[in-house]
Amino acid sequence: MKIEAVTIQAKLSSYLGDKTARAFEKQLGIVTVADLLSHYPRRYSKRGELTPLASLPVGEVVTVVGEVVGTNIRHIRGRSGSILEVSLTDGSDKITLAFFNQAWRQKDLHTGVRGLFSGKIGSFSGKLQLAHPDYELFEELDQSKAKAWADLPIPIYPATSSLTTWKIQKSIQIVLDTLPELEEYLPEGLIEEESLVGLDQAIRRIHQPQIEKDWQSARYSLKFREALLLQLQLAERRAEASQVQALDLKPGNLVGSFDKLLPFEFTSGQIQVNCEIEADLASGHPMHRLIQGEVGSGKTVVALRAMLTAIDSGHQAALLAPTEVLASQHFASIQKTLGPELCERVGLRLLTGQMSSPDKKRALLDVASGKAGLVVGTHALISAQVEFADLALVVIDEQHRFGVNQREALRAKAKLAPHTLVMTATPIPRTMAITVFGDLEISTLTELPAGRQPISSHVVNVNEPKLVSRVWQRVAEEISAGRQAFVVCPRIEPGTLEEGETQELELAEQIAPAAAIEVFEALKLNASLDGVRIGLLHGQLDSETKDQTMQAFSAGEIDVLVSTTVIEVGVNVPNATAMVILDADRFGISQLHQLRGRVGRGNHAGICLMLTGAEFAMQRLEAVASTLDGFKLSEIDLELRGEGDVLGANQSGGRSQLKLLRVTRDAELIEQTRTIAQDLLRTGLDEKLKRVLKEIDAQALARG
């Protein structure tokens, strides 16, 4: 949510100076005063209490309040230089602060001192570590002021390694000290009825609370505004969509032939979703439907039936996939499902960015002339050179991989507003569905088609060599039985550090995350895999090499495929039964579930082995291993990572104003504001509220 007032749309540089403003823009995407004031504290600490360390997320910049309980200077074996290790506690757990060649800091960081420590959480020997953290130590005060000082809430902001929480706090104080009163946009009656704090007071209290109640009341009031503005946007979209005309599509001979051709019966869930889609397509208004379902629940075959309905009615359909590997897999799968005769009748075509010029030219001509009725492609479908003769249905797979503008660019290629069907294999909790996809109808496929095999999942501690050795023996057993395996790595090649990682410490101490190129070479020398055919697949390979590798793996010419997460979605190799995930602590819960879903798709049971040396990640990985229920895991994932990470950075578009609202915890508030939004629209919005909604729409378009 951005606060509506002319003064706070000013550039941050007019308040903080060019250098600081550039740092905020580069590191946090904060450009205006409104952006800064909407950068709310993540939590609040007190100088008198410490921060629980057990739940700190690896890979994120965090700020903790802790007490130093010991220091140690250690010389690096085989190299010049030393590492100062500072042991920090929250009273029960410990974390190590590591400083490379900075022994002089031991003078300040002695046993007993407390302060704020900020840096990127990493791991060393399976234990949490902050490398080169910034810090601000607490002052000693006289006894008369000590208690009030110790109890004063300290805002802890989402920060970066160089823009620490206390730097952000000081910048916000400078702005608030000079800013006039912020204009309220909610009706006075609503503020009183819902016991809200006024906008100006809420903004000042959330950033500068004097007591705990200050930030609690401010946070609720701002959260209420977020929920209400979101529900107003969604209600407006639904109202607008109900007025738009679209083509009337009905199933015909193609759909009839397709239904008879399938070698299996639709599940009851698929039958229901087919009926829902048929009703949408024949309604005369654009369909906006999301199909969500587990890996292998049959979303694609339902989408294919919908696309055939469009072609039956004399129009075109397009399937947009996020990667070339997935687009090629969809194309091959549709070819196999339809057979040569139906493929010819529908005019199936593939269009990707790395196709040869002659092939691309032929595909473009077929799309423009209407000869191609069903077009499968990547972002290439969005390019200006692609023109459709008569596009009626857009299907978007793994829709969270695409930004709002990308989706709209494809929809804009239709003469009339096209029907839209989006699919996701990342299960979405109900509260998230009604919040973030409130302008879409939701269809959920929960049943798996008959024949799907069970998958056993296990967490393997890499600090136990016998267990690691057994992993590769287990893979070899699957290969000997005539089956195949995936080995997934978090990086393509070694030496590419994540932003904020420390080169010196990694060179000196850290074991770098598994890199696909390195693992590929290492497995060739693994005695357990002697004679095994090993392939390599990652995003930096050219299109032809990726296609050839996937075709070879699908054909059984490669036994073990070493890959990055390029195989996370859509890849279907029924003979693959083993999934080995290296450095599994580097992946999110839903991502692990997606990777696991690549096996057990044929006649044999699957096995998923997740390797990690991180003690702090064991509980999260055991949660994945304990259940195959993606919806249950999605709830856990949502709690741990928040909506933005689960949905993807660019997919939320106009909904990315959510800063405080948490859909798993705020379902009751969401339902409440939904009703209020409908009432406000029915009675008419006042001009101030209309301006705020227009501002949000403008910001969404600017973000794309």
Which DSSP string corresponds to 567-615? GSSS---TTEEEEEETTGGGS-HHHHHHHHTTSS-SSS-EEEEEEE--G
- The DSSP call for residue 381 is G
Contact indicator for 132, 502 with CB cutoff of 8 Å: yes
The tokens for 186 are 């909610």
Give yes or no for residue 646 having a pLDDT over 60: no
Sign, CA dihedral 298-304-310-313, equals negative
The 3-state DSSP class for residue 493 equals coil
Q: Which whole-number Å values give the CA distances from 293 to 444, 630, 634, in the listed order?
A: 6, 9, 12
Residue 434: its pLDDT value, please? 54
**pLDDT tens across 372-409, in order?**
999 999 888 888 889 999 999 999 886 555 555 666 77
Residue 470: its pLDDT value, please? 95
| pLDDT confidence tier of residue 431, bands split at 50, 70 and 90 | low
Average pLDDT, the chain: 83
Q: Where are the domains of the chain?
A: 50-143, 253-445, 455-627
Average pLDDT over residues 436-444: 70
Contact indicator for 66, 117 with CB cutoff of 8 Å: yes
Count CB-CB contacts under 10 A for residue 115. 19
In this structure, the dihedral spanned by the alpha carbons of residues 330, 332, 336 and 342, taken in order and rounded to 10 degrees, is 80
- Domain 455-627 falls under CATH 3.40.50.150: no
Give yes or no for residue 568 having a pLDDT over 90: no
The tokens for 223 are 């959260």
Q: How many residues does the chain have?
A: 704
Q: Which residue has the higher pLDDT, 620 or 469?
A: 469
**pLDDT tens across 197-253, in order?**
999 999 999 999 999 999 999 999 999 999 899 889 888 877 777 788 889 999 999
Average pLDDT over residues 595-600: 87
> Can you tell me the distance from the alpha carbon of 491 to that of 512, in angstroms, rounded to the nearest whole number?
10
| Strand pairing category for 154-156 and 43-45 | antiparallel
Ranges of H-type helices in 93-163: 143-151
> Can you tell me the distance from the alpha carbon of 566 to that of 543, in angstroms, rounded to the nearest whole number?
12
Ranges of H-type helices in 64-142: none
Contact indicator for 351, 388 with CB cutoff of 8 Å: no
Residue 298: its pLDDT value, please? 84
The tokens for 620 are 């999260």
Share of the chain above pLDDT 70, in %: 84
| pLDDT confidence tier of residue 507, bands split at 50, 70 and 90 | very low
> Can you tell me the distance from the alpha carbon of 594 to that of 608, in angstroms, rounded to the nearest whole number?
11
> Can you tell me the distance from the alpha carbon of 267 to that of 263, in angstroms, rounded to the nearest whole number?
13
Count CB-CB contacts under 10 A for residue 595. 26
Ranges of H-type helices in 461-588: 465-480, 503-508, 516-524, 543-554
> Can you tell me the distance from the alpha carbon of 565 to that of 556, in angstroms, rounded to the nearest whole number?
20
CATH class of domain segment(s) 50-143: mainly beta
CA angle, residues 679, 682, 683, in degrees to nearest 5 = 90
> Can you tell me the distance from the alpha carbon of 413 to that of 319, in angstroms, rounded to the nearest whole number?
13
Whether 50-143 and 253-445 share one fold: the answer is: no
Share of the chain above pLDDT 90, in %: 39
Ranges of H-type helices in 290-355: 299-312, 324-346
Residue 576: its pLDDT value, please? 94
Residue 206: its pLDDT value, please? 97
Instruction: Name the nearest CA neighbour of 472 among 423, 532, 400, 537.
Output: 532
Q: Which whole-number Å values give the CA distances from 255 to 198, 252, 262, 263, in the listed order?
A: 57, 6, 11, 15
Statement: the pTM of the whole predicted model exceeds 0.85:
no
Give yes or no for residue 292 having a pLDDT over 90: no
| pLDDT confidence tier of residue 5, bands split at 50, 70 and 90 | very low
Residue 223: its pLDDT value, please? 94
Superfamily of domain 253-445: P-loop containing nucleotide triphosphate hydrolases (3.40.50.300)
| pLDDT confidence tier of residue 436, bands split at 50, 70 and 90 | low
Contact indicator for 643, 687 with CB cutoff of 8 Å: no
Name the amino acid, one letter, at 277: I
> Can you tell me the distance from the alpha carbon of 273 to that of 293, in angstroms, rounded to the nearest whole number?
11
Q: What are phi and psi of 668, to 5 degrees?
A: -65, -45
> Can you tell me the distance from the alpha carbon of 690 to that of 186, in angstroms, rounded to the nearest whole number?
10
| Strand pairing category for 391-397 and 419-424 | parallel
Residue 437: its pLDDT value, please? 56
Q: Give Cα 570 distance to the centre of its chain.
A: 17
Instruction: Name the nearest CA neighbour of 548 among 563, 560, 558, 540.
Output: 558
Give yes or no for residue 629 having a pLDDT over 80: no
Range with the lowest mean pLDDT among 239-253, 484-498, 577-591? 484-498
Residue 463: its pLDDT value, please? 86
Average pLDDT over residues 14-22: 89
| pLDDT confidence tier of residue 124, bands split at 50, 70 and 90 | confident
Give yes or no for residue 655 having a pLDDT over 80: no
Instruction: Name the nearest CA neighbour of 568 among 500, 488, 507, 663.
Output: 488
